[in-house]
Amino acid sequence: MKIAIGAALSAVLLALYAQVSGAWFVLGFVALVPWLLALNRVRSLWEALGGGLAMSVTMSVAVFSWLPATLERYAGTTSSVWPWLLLVMAAPLLQPQFLTFAVVRYLNRKARPSNGEEEPPRRQGFMNLKPLAFLASWRFPSSLRKMLADRVGPARCVLAAAAAYVATELLASKLLFDTLGLGLYPSRYLRQGADLVGVHGLTWMLLLVNEAVAAVMARKAEARPYVVAALGLIGLDLGYGWLRCAQLRDGGPATVVGVVQANITNYDKLRADRGAFEAVRYILDEHYALSDDLRRNANPDLIVWPETVYPTTFGSPKSEAGQAFDTEILAFAAGRGTPVVFGAYDASAGHEYNAAFFVEAASQKPVRAYRKSLLFPFTERVPPLLDSEWLRARLPWVGHWDTGPGPDVVSMALRDGRRLSALPLICYDALSTTFVAQAAQRGADLIVTLSNDSWFPDERAPRLHLVSAAFRSIETRLPQVRSTNSGISAVISPAGDWLATAGWNERRIVTASLPTGAHAWAPAVLLSPWLAPLLASWALLELLATQLSKRNATNAGIRTK
């Protein structure tokens, strides 16, 4: 019962923290404390697993309460029961990090002697995998040795559990790629630390601070060193963020980008009401008109339309009308003298892809198409092992697209003749730190993100999607232009600032000037792909060391009797 109460209290705090606005980000430093205090009382591995499961379920329900309505909207059903049941049952898969964290934390804590209990003598030598305690036994008197053990043991337990938490998030490929560090976005200086090893580095810091606060509430006097360390981490992150923001003020040559958000949604209904030809005619005419407004207002170097804004194949038309539309889009870019990036379908050898097309002003064909690589399960692609006629007959809305080749960078000519290297992302692609880091290693000047967030019932999920995309700019130190059909579209600086936005459910054009000539170094581009294996190895080795030390101590205790 105490575990359930602690998990529920933490879930409420996380729900407030997940608003990602105002001063709610402060809750990230204490949100897990009720759950951690409850975990301190578990007495078995099964209780630890239960604590992790309770946190997974309560957090999923509290933070992702918009997901059931999204599933209903996408599937076109009116039932309000099955999506919630699915969310609860899938919670351990959505948030597996709570289970591994609880297990690793319990096993490490269980292996340490309780307060006041004399630690049995240990074998010394190569097999002793605790070097600090080994040195202490040789160089310090017993009183200092005990103090060192009292401090180092719990700290190593906390560090190992935090490493297991972050490693699980990265290795499990979580469905929504969510992590605690995203909630620090409202703090301009705190969020800059994401350029070191990615946003998950901020998650690691938050876990340590939560553990320090929990230690204060559990044992006040003994927890002072941990509080000092936690405050030091926060101070270092703030100081680093201030320095990085100061370095990013001079951004070099600027590129003016324009975004079209026509707020046209539910293409299926539009097609049913108007017919396929008239639906496409209406969608394109709206984007032509808004793009002309952009040219009159700002004369941008590049115009970006949303994901699948042209809801058919481009470059391989299925009809004469499709061929005419293809030619018309190319003529639009050439006639206005402005390159355009837009979403459509790409077809090849019987396969179809969700793609982004890059059209230069002087070209009579697309420079290149980027094929979306990370497809959302079931809605865009069914895993081959589960794909069948039986499944598609019962779930007619499941996707059929094929997976693109992977991270890419596309070079294109701008209106003034300069060449720009664009890192294209489509919707789900923007959620993965590792995927974007791999693309950034190829060299890029600008991230171009196309998305369709019209399936969400309100602005909560689109806001989280935008926040996650903004962290990709921080991690790579690349500016970003993001176009969605219904919001939230944005132009994002290398520091993650939203320079201009088009809000949820708005028909609007957005323009801003971005620095695309300077390339600030971001360690995360190189280091973030290595974070998961390093942390997983750390957690496993620490767990192994603790268990071996426990066994050695037990054997030594038996021999002394």
List, for residues 295-328, the tens digit of each pLDDT value: 888 889 999 999 989 988 998 888 888 899 988 9
Give the residue among 549, 468, 518, 462 at the shortest CA–CA distance from 129. Answer: 549
Residue 228, class by beta-carbon neighbours within 10 Å (0-12 exposed, 13-18 middle, 19+ buried)?
Answer: exposed
Least confident of 193-207, 271-285, 483-497, 514-528: 514-528
The H or E element that residue 489 is part of is: strand 489-492
pLDDT at 201: 94
In order, the DSSP letters of 40-60 are TT--SHHHHHHHHHHHHHHHH
Higher pLDDT among residues 249 and 168, named by residue: 168
For 451, other C-beta atoms within 10 Å of its C-beta total 27
With 70 as the cut, is the pLDDT of residue 137 above it? no
- Strands 368-371 and 340-348: what pairing? unpaired
Average confidence score pLDDT of the chain: 84
pLDDT at 273: 86
**The token pair that represents 244 in the structure block:** 């990085």
**The token pair that represents 514 in the structure block:** 């971005």
| Residue 550 confidence class, pLDDT cut points 50, 70, 90 | low
Least confident of 76-80, 118-122, 272-276, 397-401: 118-122
Over the stretch 190-212, which tens digit does the pLDDT of each residue have? 999 999 999 999 999 999 999 98
CA 344 to CA 426: how far, in whole Å? 11
Span between the terminal Cα atoms of the chain, in Å: 40
| Residue 484 confidence class, pLDDT cut points 50, 70, 90 | very high
Give the residue among 202, 180, 38 at the shortest CA–CA distance from 97. Answer: 180
Least confident of 189-193, 268-272, 463-467: 268-272
Least confident of 243-257, 450-464, 547-561: 547-561
The H or E element that residue 160 is part of is: helix 142-171
Over the stretch 344-387, which tens digit does the pLDDT of each residue have? 999 888 888 999 999 988 776 777 789 998 887 767 777 676 66
- Report CA Rg, the chain: 26
pLDDT at 120: 39
With 60 as the cut, is the pLDDT of residue 121 above it? no
> Mean per-residue pLDDT for 396-419?
82
Higher pLDDT among residues 561 and 82, named by residue: 82
With 90 as the cut, is the pLDDT of residue 508 above it? yes
> Mean per-residue pLDDT for 243-263?
85
3-state secondary structure of 356: strand
CA 452 to CA 432: how far, in whole Å? 17
Interhelix angle 45-63/97-111, nearest 10 degrees: 150
pLDDT at 240: 95
Give the residue among 537, 456, 540, 434 at the shortest CA–CA distance from 103. Answer: 540
Which strands make up the sheet holding 498-502, listed edge to edge?
410-413, 419-426, 446-451, 480-484, 489-492, 498-502
Residue with tokens 């097609």: 271
pLDDT at 392: 65
Least confident of 72-76, 551-555, 557-561: 557-561
| Residue 116 confidence class, pLDDT cut points 50, 70, 90 | very low
3-state secondary structure of 482: strand
**The token pair that represents 456 in the structure block:** 């969400």
Q: Where do the domains of the chain lie, and which CATH numbers do they carry?
A: 2-63+96-112+121-247+531-560 (no CATH), 254-519 (3.60.110.10)
Residues 6+ apart with CB under 8 A from 100: 52, 164, 165, 167, 168
| Residue 228 confidence class, pLDDT cut points 50, 70, 90 | confident
With 50 as the cut, is the pLDDT of residue 127 above it? no
pLDDT at 35: 95
Give me the sign of the Cα torsion angle 466, 467, 469, 470: positive
Question: What ranges make up the beta strands (E) of 242-339?
Answer: 254-261, 302-304
